[in-house]
Amino acid sequence: MESNQNKVETCARAAHEVNQVFCAAIGDPPSPSWDGLSDAQRNGVLAGAAHALAGGSPKESHELWFESRLAEGWTFAEVKSFEKKTSPCMVSYDDLPLSQRAKDELFQSVVRAVAQALASK
């Protein structure tokens, strides 16, 4: 039986990889690969996966992401930059473009689908 920590990490990794592909498809600069994430970034993805597994909504997920980025010193800018800590997504969920809302929904869907697959092993 897989531990809850392993389950969350497996779900988070899968959702992160799908997120990378989705970002490439919409022209959004992707985050680093899982192994290239900073501890803060990895912890954020893990927290997002745990939140999805606990039944959180995409809107709540964005709010958690926003608060964590704000605490790390990120600000709004038209262009996403990991070096400058800027992102056009530093806005309320309701002000996000539909493609970014879809990314939040996709992340949660992947997390839940992987968790369901793990449960059926």
Going from N- to C-terminal start, the domains of the chain cover: 4-119
Residue with tokens 């192994």: 35
Task: Write out pLDDT tens, residues 30-66.
Answer: 788 999 998 888 998 999 999 999 999 999 999 999 9
Lowest mean pLDDT among 11-15, 65-69, 94-98, 111-115: 65-69
CA–CA separation, 80 and 30 (whole Å): 9
pLDDT score of 1 more than 90: no
Q: How many other C-beta atoms can be found within 10 angstroms of the C-beta atom of residue 33?
A: 11
- Cβ–Cβ < 8 Å for 98, 22: no
Q: pTM for the whole thing?
A: 0.89
Q: 102 is written with which tokens?
A: 């879809």
Q: Which residues contact 106 (CB under 8 A, 6 or more apart)?
A: 15, 18, 19, 22
